[in-house]
Amino acid sequence: MKKPKTQTYNDGVLAVYKVGNIAAPGNRPKDGLLLKFESIPYEERTVGVTRFVANMQVQNTIEKLLRIPYVNGVSRDDVVVPIDGEQYRIKQAQVIKDVEPKCLDLSLERVASKYEFG
């Protein structure tokens, strides 16, 4: 049996947010970012041609591919803010099982208009 590769996360840390109402009670609802997870280490990966073309066919533009340790609760349409400070929407979260520890590959699309933080 092949020994799993040990995964490292040396490229930075990120935070994961969900989009929700950040308006004060009684005010008109306003979408913004609500923190789900913080200080998750990541490794930046190369977006391969196959993944890039497949996403272009469904009008998604994958700008980053980040690998993070497996975190239960990270899901599609959450927003990630890595060390560059930009906001990216998760278009796909894929579990990677052939490395130790188990991890997630996040395919990210840049958010067109930035959200405020709640």
**pLDDT at 49 (0 to 100):** 53
Write down the mean pLDDT value for the chain.
Answer: 90
Nearest to 70 by CA among 45, 40, 47: 40
Return left, alpha or beta for 71; rule: phi > 0 is left, psi -120 to 50 is alpha, else beta.
beta
Please write the tens of the pLDDT for every residue from 54-113. Answer: 555 556 689 999 999 999 999 999 999 999 999 999 999 999 989 999 999 999 999 999
Which CATH number is associated with domain 5-110?
Answer: 2.40.10.270
CA distance 107 to 86: 14
Please write the tens of the pLDDT for every residue from 25-69. Answer: 999 999 999 999 999 999 999 976 555 555 555 566 899 999 999
Predicted model pTM: 0.86
